[in-house]
Chain A
Amino acid sequence: MGVGIEVTNLNAWYGTNHTLQEINLNIPANHATALIGPSGCGKSTFVRCLNRMHETNPIARVTGSVVIGGLDIYADAKPVEIRRRVGMVFQRPNPFPTMSIYDNVAAGLKLNGYSNRHVLDEIVERSLKNSALWDEVKDDLKKKSGASLSGGQQQRLCIARALAVDPEVLLMDEPASALDPVSTSKIEDLIFQLKSQYTIVIVTHNMQQAARVAEKTGFFLNGRMVEFDSTHKIFTNPSDKLTEDYITGRFG
């Protein structure tokens, strides 16, 4: 089941560049939350702070608190534990190129020491079904490499890989921006189905996409969160002038 995320006074830096400033928001459990804003506004950095991937860059720094399902991820847990609970899907599909489809999905479990064949088989099948890829790949799970799939299939494979470690939260950093419209709509359908089981945070450049998939939307600009509200309110009656300017296409 998904869990809620409470972010308090979050700041992030790349070197001397203060990319996130005093972010406060509550992301509800088992819903999809969209983050919109122009390029470089800090929304990708923000989601990378939610699974402590931001700090994998040696010049990066974070302050503030992020509490996920009651656990303060910066004070009380190791990065590897957090990343098992908070899965991530990246902008460009990044399957492990030398691994079969099966091994790609099972990678998170295998690399953490899981080896029971039956359990792995079951989890791989369930994850691929949850990512709506099972029917397309079930006949050559171990024969084909993950890299031999189409872009859209690769991205769904990456979603399956993230789901296989049974996370509570799924972060998606522009998951459809490198895909064609058909693949994009498949990913969006998927987000719709997945949000009953997971808390989903999706970064997107595409405002229609945010409106289609998310109950809540946050608007980021220049490292600050300008507004966070129900998606309906953000797109029909935003409280902030800047949000209105952005969604009506006056800048960005």
Chain B
Amino acid sequence: MLATVLVVAPLVAIFVYLVYKGAVSLNWAFFTHNPVPVGEQGGGMANAIVGSAILLAVGSVIGIPMGIAGGIFLAEFGRGTKLANAIRFTADVLNGVPSIVMGIAVYSLVVVPQGHFSAFSGGVALGIMMIPTVCRTTEEMLLMVPNAVREAALALGVPNWRSVLSITVRTASAGIITGCMLAFARVAGETAPLIFTAFGNVGWSEKLSEPIAALPLQIYVYALSPYDEWHRLAWAGALVLIVLIVLAVSLVRYVTSRGVLKGAS
């Protein structure tokens, strides 16, 4: 009971404080309007909400398949090999790389050759940050699948690769999806890797090749500004960011628990 309170208390405290500070600035315009110049009333963060969604989509498309593929290799095909140990070590180091370093790395690898900031480079930075979490949770979840399940599939004359993809991964799918959600939620709030990549944008943009706004970036800029109106918007942005993450995670959980575990009582 005490443990429950201790775990839940910080989350509730943060949430309550965000609602207290941010709810007043939340209105329909916040979701439908772009930012307005200083001095004008109103304005919203529509561009940043859409920008974050695009950045996270690009990040997920890059990070989730690579992470899952890596995890499958570690748990099923490369067990005990030098290559697997090297990959596992790399993933653990990557997990510890500060996000600002990730931003600078992607800046020099993608932004500089491209010649300009872009949504794509921001997505790459977020995607790379997702890989280690997805990879290691996938590996751990696959290792939890009992060997008896693998043997049952092999004994039916199913080729090993097919057994891995259709039986082992499927058996571990609930855990793997949780890992992906964790990675997603973690990078959704990242600011540092976007400063040198997505850069931010005061206007509307949906193009991958152009600088794009993102909620965490916008919150960062607004919170550091000297204007009270922007401070209030920053609080509202933080509240929206948290609520959107919770919604996205819940939605994916709901959909997959119905789709993947269909038939399970």
Contacts and interface: CB of A to CB of B under 8 A. Distances in A.
A232 interface: no
Interface string A82-97: 1111011010101111
A111 B173 contact: no
A111 B158 contact: yes
Q: Is the interface of A mostly helix, strand, loop or mixed?
A: mixed
A42 B260 CA distance: 40
B32 interface: no
B149 A81 contact: no
Given A98-B171, A145-B263, A81 B157 contact: yes
B265 A148 contact: yes
Contacts, number: 90
Interface in A99-128: 99-100, 102-103, 107-108, 111-112
Assign chain B's interface to a size class. Answer: 20 to 34
A162 B153 contact: no
A58, A88, A111, A145: which has the most chain B beta carbons within 10 Å? A111
Nearest to A109: B156
Contacts of B265: 143-145, 148
Contacts of A144: 263, 265
Contact of A107 (B148, B153, B260, B263): B153
A53 B155 contact: yes
B159 interface: yes
A169 to B, nearest CB: 12
A111 B162 contact: yes
Interface in A129-186: 142-145, 147-148, 158, 161-162, 165
A107 B80 CA distance: 29
Interface of A: 51, 53, 56, 58, 80-85, 87-88, 90, 92, 94-100, 102-103, 107-108, 111-112, 142-145, 147-148, 158, 161-162, 165
Given A83-B157, A88-B155, A90-B152, 10 more contacts: A56-B154, A87-B155, A94-B148, A94-B151, A98-B170, A98-B260, A107-B153, A111-B153, A112-B158, A145-B263
